[in-house]
Structure 1
Amino acid sequence: MARDGRLGDRLISDDRTNFAPRIGWAWNPSEKWSYRAGTGIFYMQDTGNPRFDMARNLSGRRRDNTLLLTPDLTLDTPFRGVGTANDCGVAPPLVCLTNIYVLGNVPDRKTPYMWQYLFNVQRELGSSTALEVGYLGSHSFRLERMFDWNETIPSTIGSVQSRKPYPEYTKVQEIGNVAEAKYNSLAIKLTRRLHQGLSVLGGYTLSKSTDNGSGIRVLNGDTLFPQNSFCLDCEWGLSVFDVRHRFVTSVLYELPFGQGKPFAQTGVGAKVLGGWQLSTIINKSSGFPRTVFTGSDRSNTGGGQDRPNVTGQDPNLPGDEQTIARWFNTSAYVTQAAGTFGNAGRDTVIGPGIFRVDASIIRNFRFGAKYIQFRLEAFNVLNNTIWNDPNTTLSSPLYGTINSTRTPMREVQLGLKFVF
């Protein structure tokens, strides 16, 4: 393939404006208090090589969309119009590549970057314990996401193709610096180093992450393209990975028996009671936000990923009203008028949270510097049901219900390790 000379020898131009200053500050007014602050610019590199999507243009590309609930295409007939007269003058079963799907790059693409800032306070509580409280925030710019330069204008009049800005093409797909993100968090951490057989690491985070696109590719319910590529502000909402509350604590306790311990240092007591360790990890967190879709192409744009209208009611039910038969307020959304986009935002329904306890019992049998370790480990030891996200398709008969679990039930395993 020959170049036309307009882009030089590369797919995108160099970005020579990447300047990443950083500054930090620390102050210890006493032996027990410590203050820290910092800010800086951090640049992010490409992932997944999206620049080379253009290579798929060489063979020509056509994609006919269908609806999930009422599909009219199959593996045997993946395109419409095959076997009928077409505009190219080719005989069936050849496919006419009219209205092709085009993939492009933004030639003056800029490097995405994040401005990050933090402040925390640390207080020593005794000789082996410390408490830390801090704020961490960030604002990300020039993030990349996929969008369509040839988005169909929603309407009930005329064909989908005739309402595109460039009707000779279907989608004109680009990955550009069109997304932005913000993150703010308050974090509390308690650390106890191993002392008198007890070690504790506990943390709680209150955070909020928002953006108008959580990734280039489809991620946990986010769509590949915006509902409307000409209104990226309409995509602003919670990130698909936002977790409002998260509490994680790990505890390790060595029984106070055996050699080097306060009790039963020798004899039968040391052999029977010595070398035992108990540990646990407790994880409790809020659910992830998810988007409600109509499940049909109400906008008549050929996409099938429309969001509905909101009624003004809170979509999230109080905790004591949430059941797997009705996890969220299904009356908070209604189907929008035909030929229009819905006004519901992204990621407005919060799914089930997680509460999980893992535990282990360990026994060490020592032979000088060597030892054999026996492990009994239990995951989800309380056998707590951790539900998956609810169905958020408005036209589905399962709308609002939960029909699966996120993680397995209790699992127990045994292990034996020889350390030498």
Structure 2
Amino acid sequence: MRLVAVATLGLLVRSLSAQVAGGALTGSVTDPSGNAVPNAQVTIAEKSRNAVREVATDQNGLYDVPNLNPGTYELRVSAPGFATLVQNNVVIDVATEAVVNLQLQLGSTKTMIEVTATPPAVEGATSAITAVVGGTTVRQLPLNGRDWTSLAALEPGVSVVRTQNSANQLTINRTNRGLGTQMTINGNRPQQNNYRLDGVSINDQFGGSPGSSLGQTIGVDAVQEFSVVSTNAPADYGKNAGAVVNAVTRSGTNDIHGSAYEFFRNSALDARNFFDAGSPPPFKRNQFGGSVGLPIVKNKTFFFVDYEGLRQGLGTSNVISVPSAAARSGHLSSGKTITVNPKAALYLNELYPLPNGPVSGDIGTYSFSNQLISQENFVTSRLDQHFSDKDDLHGVFLWDNSQTSGPDAYDIVNLGIVSQRRTVQVEESHLFSPAVINIARVGFNRDISSALDSLGAIDPAAADPSLGFVPGRNVGSILIGGVTTLNGGVGAAGRYIYHYNSYQVYDDLFWTKSGHALKFGAAFERDQTNGVPGGTPNGSVSFSSLTNFLTNIPQSFTSNIPGTGSELGYRQSIFGTYVQDDWHVLRNLTLNLGLRYEISTVPTEQYNRLTTLTNLTSPTLHLGAPLFHNPTLRNFSPRVGFAWDPFKDGKSAIRAAFGQYDVLPLVYEYLLSSLLSAPYLEQGSITGLPVGAFPNALYGALTPSSLRTQWIEQDPKRSYVLEWNLNLQRDIGAGTVVQLGYTGSHGVHLTFTTSNANIVQPIATAQGYVWPANGTLPNPNFGTITPTLWQVSSSYQAMQARISRRMTKGLHVEGSYTWGKSIDTNSEATTTAFANSLTNLPAFDPKLRRGLSDFDIRQNFVANVLWQIPGHHGDHGFVNWISGGWEIGEILQLSTGLPFTPLISGDPLNSKLTTFNFDEPDRLALPECNNPVNAGNPNQYIRLSCFVAPTPSNRLGNAGRNIIIGPGLINLDSAFYKNNHVHFLSEDLNIQFRAEFFNILNRTNFAPPNATNVLIFGTTGTGANSVITPIPSSGALTSTA
């Protein structure tokens, strides 16, 4: 006998594990009076692979089924004296735990009651904040480049850092901070997030997200779904203090399923970009591939494979700032006429184009387009073996190769980036009993990148050694205040090569007993990071202003010493262990209690080629191990939280949590500075150059005391983040859940680095810091000294709201809003992560560095919609076809801008700085200067009238860090689909045509001013004769986000 009825049921979701890539199911079984039903038989079956698990409820009527593959299950419950209850369509997601509470009805076990009600979907058993991005969302929403990681930005608290070095620009900074999309999640640095594929960490050598030379992570068809654990993860999460992005690959089933696709995009329908000089530059992208999943042995062995290829020619419009024709002849906009040095004139004529756009002061814009040529091949495969009801094994292999080539910022050199990724995972699960299960996993992750490769000269001058600064080398880099940096000729970029291998082992034991869902586990990771430094092989010379360049007054010079530079191989191990108890105190109250212990070893080098100063003033280098004393030996991290269903109806949840999360001192925090340190790479830097030294007398001015090295704090304090949240959820029906919460965090002793700490130390006065006229360096034995210090403090507070309607009656809607603020004293572990960062924050006073985080976005709203449009269902086949099968997908994003800092070019402070400057102007205390921007004026976005040069010129200005907010973002991406089911060939065959439109509103979303255009004052002259003068062309917006 079978009845179809509506039964009482509550479905909630809770976080499961970072180390375990599957999901879990838990809940309670009660009788009609609400009393517990002990020893009820609970059977859960995955129909696609005919996998079955059985457990029994305990004396409190509770059950737990850990380690289930993500998918859709049937739940069957039976007990003597009760009708058998069947619940279909129980969805298990990655790294979550579905909570299904069932009420049995009196009757014979031969009577079956099938539950047809849509269960609530609140998270009533966890204090962690987790969101799942399902496979339909991943594959159906419009994705520019089909990068699945970018969809994490659909969730509250998640923001893509729009000032990361763009994939459309071939710069060394991209390789030296990681190639993937950078995201900040709830105030954490992008490098503090952990990306996992089937339970294996896939972060790159700089702690960033996985990515290719194109700046994205493809393989959409290989991803079944992924989750984002944004804050207050349980104790089974480790290695990183930020969010965890857990992805799980698709697997084969008992049915053969597959896909084949071709995405074609070109510039035929592209609107003209704001910076396009004429028609849009040519653009062509072919993205193609296919996947297939099938059974090798039915119910036992399953296989899945996916291939994706990409071929792209991307036309980009570029705007650079170059000297005007009048300035080249010595006629300055101030009315002054100067004699242009013949050497400067030679380089202007050979390398700098004349402006073809507006001229402001002595500088104009030059616009041109070029092409980036890219290709990528991506393969994912998975094999699953079901040995018995107690043992399962599966393995995953990922293979990704990519390369991109194109011209530099001045279109004189062709450059290239190459990347390779490999991931291997093998996992075995063993069921000792219905209450005890063990999961063992091994993994391997490899990331190889090479950049920038000089592929040849476009302009013959770029390969002319007679223009070089270093003997036998081509022209080097030239930095001029207010002018776009010329990165040099062939070989100037410096080729960095990284080989990163990560060997990983995990083991997790699950034990359910008397209302306790206990988890015990351990993880071990062995990392090998090999790097070949590029540095500045052709040399780099800086001028504080255009006038100083024209009159040959160089400020500083940096260059590698030819013949130096060694490949270094760093080795580090990470070990963690944990216990987690999710204690069902009551049926409507769960306590989440956890403790994690995690340590990392102090890095070694395979041949003990380590070097550091033990303090800033050390006269000699410390060579060999250890680099520093280990601060992680007492890293015990408690985590506590609760989830409460106040109405006991499964439709509401009140949750709160607090936890401590360690930021381990990993190699990436000082990898770049270590590679560039003497004696293994000799790179000299010098200031105080004589007039006329450019170009021939630059290299000869370097001395042994000008070599670069690093200073690593010898007794670092424990680095960690405290996280907390209070969150409320309510199911309002129709599959819709609303959520409102408060999230906060506080970073303690995070990593601080800056380009150079070896500068003249200032004197503190009532007016601020003032530099002495004839100051000396703290360490005269070296040139640039790059510090790594654990002294950064951060703070994040946010109100977050979310509404989510799962696909019901053909409509899926999700929207999230975050109103938050992130403050810190430094936002990155490297000095090149963000284009809006100050690369040389002062090391002598952390208070000077306090300001908005480089990635602070005050308000962010994201919404997405998938709508299956109802069609006509009549007798006319053609009408049914033409009206049916239509779908719409939309992603809307509205957000405020990112902060940046106005600066003064040169060194009027007389700090003897050999690298990028940090001198700030004074901001006037006027009402209109609270937000010193000219909104809607891209030609001069910064309101220059709000700033003046400090007096005296050797006083640091009061403007402060990150005081200006850049332009906001409004973007709508749309997709339209037509499904065509070919029933006469197969009931499951569908041919889909889709059209995707990105930025369909055609709104120009500007990026903040670049490093050239934030220099609002320049310095002319030298020494006591130097004068700070405004740069009229500064403050312009020259690129889009």
TM-score range, shorter chain: 0.7 to 0.9
- 2:789 and 2:737 map into 1 onto residues whose CA distance is 45
Residue type of the alignment partner of 2:945:
S
Contact in 2 for aligned 1:300/1:338 (Cα 8 Å): no
Deviation by residue 1:163-205 (Cα, 9 ceiling, x = unmatched): 2233333343320101111111111101011112111000111
Please tell me whether residue 122 in structure 1 is matched to residue 759 in structure 2: no
Give 3-state SS (helix, strand or coil) of 2:881's partner: helix
- 1:373 and 1:120 map into 2 onto residues whose CA distance is 40
Q: 2:797 aligns with which of 165, 184, 187?
A: 184
Deviation by residue 1:103-140 (Cα, 9 ceiling, x = unmatched): 12222224421100011111111131111001111000
Please tell me whether residue 225 in structure 1 is matched to residue 840 in structure 2: yes
Give the corresponding residue for 1:405: 1040
Give 3-state SS (helix, strand or coil) of 1:170's partner: coil
- 2:973 and 2:911 map into 1 onto residues whose CA distance is 48
Contact in 1 for aligned 2:861/2:894 (Cα 8 Å): yes
- 1:2 and 1:245 map into 2 onto residues whose CA distance is 47
Give the corresponding residue for 1:416: none
Give the corresponding residue for 1:324: 938
- 1:77 and 1:239 map into 2 onto residues whose CA distance is 41
Deviation at 1:223, TM superposition (A): 2.3
Please tell me whether residue 50 in structure 1 is matched to residue 670 in structure 2: yes
- 1:104 and 1:25 map into 2 onto residues whose CA distance is 44
398 and 71 in structure 1: CA distance in 2 versus 1, 3 angstrom threshold: farther
| 1:207-222 superposed matches below 5 A | 207-216=820-829, 217-218=831-832, 219-222=834-837
Please tell me whether residue 372 in structure 1 is matched to residue 1004 in structure 2: no
Q: 1:35 aligns with which of 645, 654, 669?
A: 654
210 and 264 in structure 1: CA distance in 2 versus 1, 3 angstrom threshold: farther
- 1:322 and 1:171 map into 2 onto residues whose CA distance is 40
- 1:156 and 1:405 map into 2 onto residues whose CA distance is 42
309 and 286 in structure 1: CA distance in 2 versus 1, 3 angstrom threshold: same
| 1:107-256 superposed matches below 5 A | 107-147=714-754, 148-154=756-762, 155=771, 157-158=773-774, 162-216=775-829, 217-218=831-832, 219-226=834-841, 228-256=842-870
Give 3-state SS (helix, strand or coil) of 1:269's partner: helix
Residue type of the alignment partner of 1:121:
L
Please tell me whether residue 21 in structure 1 is matched to residue 634 in structure 2: no
Contact in 2 for aligned 1:150/1:164 (Cα 8 Å): yes
After TM superposition, the structure 1 stretch with the greater mean CA deviation from structure 2, 33-42 or 97-106, is: 97-106
274 and 119 in structure 1: CA distance in 2 versus 1, 3 angstrom threshold: same
Q: 2:686 aligns with which of 58, 64, 67?
A: 64
Q: 1:287 aligns with which of 894, 897, 900?
A: 897
Contact in 2 for aligned 1:316/1:350 (Cα 8 Å): no
Give the corresponding residue for 2:954: 339
Deviation at 1:305, TM superposition (A): 2.6
Deviation at 1:286, TM superposition (A): 0.3
4+ residue runs of structure 1 moved beyond 6 angstroms? 1-4
Deviation at 1:3, TM superposition (A): 9.4
Deviation by residue 1:309-345 (Cα, 9 ceiling, x = unmatched): 1211354549995422342432222111222212221
- 1:165 and 1:120 map into 2 onto residues whose CA distance is 50
- 1:71 and 1:351 map into 2 onto residues whose CA distance is 39
Give 3-state SS (helix, strand or coil) of 1:325's partner: helix
Deviation by residue 1:239-267 (Cα, 9 ceiling, x = unmatched): 11100011100011111116xxxx44873
38 and 265 in structure 1: CA distance in 2 versus 1, 3 angstrom threshold: farther
Give 3-state SS (helix, strand or coil) of 2:848's partner: helix
Give 3-state SS (helix, strand or coil) of 2:705's partner: coil
Q: Identity rate of aligned residues, in percent?
A: 27
Deviation by residue 1:257-297 (Cα, 9 ceiling, x = unmatched): 16xxxx44873332111111011111110000001101221
- 2:658 and 2:878 map into 1 onto residues whose CA distance is 58
153 and 283 in structure 1: CA distance in 2 versus 1, 3 angstrom threshold: same
Contact in 2 for aligned 1:257/1:264 (Cα 8 Å): no
Contact in 1 for aligned 2:934/2:942 (Cα 8 Å): no
166 and 282 in structure 1: CA distance in 2 versus 1, 3 angstrom threshold: same
- 1:26 and 1:359 map into 2 onto residues whose CA distance is 37
Deviation by residue 1:43-93 (Cα, 9 ceiling, x = unmatched): 1232525167446221444213599xx99655x6543x54xxxxxxxxxxx
321 and 169 in structure 1: CA distance in 2 versus 1, 3 angstrom threshold: closer
Residue type of the alignment partner of 2:824:
D
Residue type of the alignment partner of 1:186:
M
Specify the structure having the higher radius of gyration (Cα).
2
250 and 265 in structure 1: CA distance in 2 versus 1, 3 angstrom threshold: farther
Contact in 2 for aligned 1:53/1:104 (Cα 8 Å): no
Give the corresponding residue for 1:88: none
- 1:268 and 1:298 map into 2 onto residues whose CA distance is 77
- 1:384 and 1:8 map into 2 onto residues whose CA distance is 55
After TM superposition, the structure 1 stretch with the greater mean CA deviation from structure 2, 31-40 or 114-123, is: 31-40
Residue type of the alignment partner of 2:637:
A
Structure 1 gap segments, 5+ residues each: 83-94, 407-420
Contact in 2 for aligned 1:203/1:248 (Cα 8 Å): yes
322 and 66 in structure 1: CA distance in 2 versus 1, 3 angstrom threshold: farther
Residue type of the alignment partner of 2:759:
E
Give 3-state SS (helix, strand or coil) of 1:377's partner: strand
9 and 229 in structure 1: CA distance in 2 versus 1, 3 angstrom threshold: closer
Contact in 2 for aligned 1:361/1:375 (Cα 8 Å): yes
- 2:858 and 2:722 map into 1 onto residues whose CA distance is 21
Contact in 2 for aligned 1:191/1:201 (Cα 8 Å): yes
Task: Provide TM-score, normalisation by structure 1.
Answer: 0.82
Contact in 2 for aligned 1:243/1:287 (Cα 8 Å): yes
Residue type of the alignment partner of 1:109:
P
Give 3-state SS (helix, strand or coil) of 1:297's partner: coil
52 and 312 in structure 1: CA distance in 2 versus 1, 3 angstrom threshold: closer
137 and 49 in structure 1: CA distance in 2 versus 1, 3 angstrom threshold: closer
26 and 197 in structure 1: CA distance in 2 versus 1, 3 angstrom threshold: same
Structure 2 gap segments, 5+ residues each: 1-607, 612-621, 763-770, 1018-1030
Give 3-state SS (helix, strand or coil) of 1:169's partner: coil
8 and 65 in structure 1: CA distance in 2 versus 1, 3 angstrom threshold: closer
Task: Provide TM-score, normalisation by structure 2.
Answer: 0.35
- 1:320 and 1:2 map into 2 onto residues whose CA distance is 52
- 2:659 and 2:698 map into 1 onto residues whose CA distance is 50
Give 3-state SS (helix, strand or coil) of 2:1003's partner: coil
Deviation at 1:209, TM superposition (A): 0.5
- 1:305 and 1:380 map into 2 onto residues whose CA distance is 36
52 and 190 in structure 1: CA distance in 2 versus 1, 3 angstrom threshold: closer
Count, aligned residues: 381
Please tell me whether residue 394 in structure 1 is matched to residue 1024 in structure 2: no
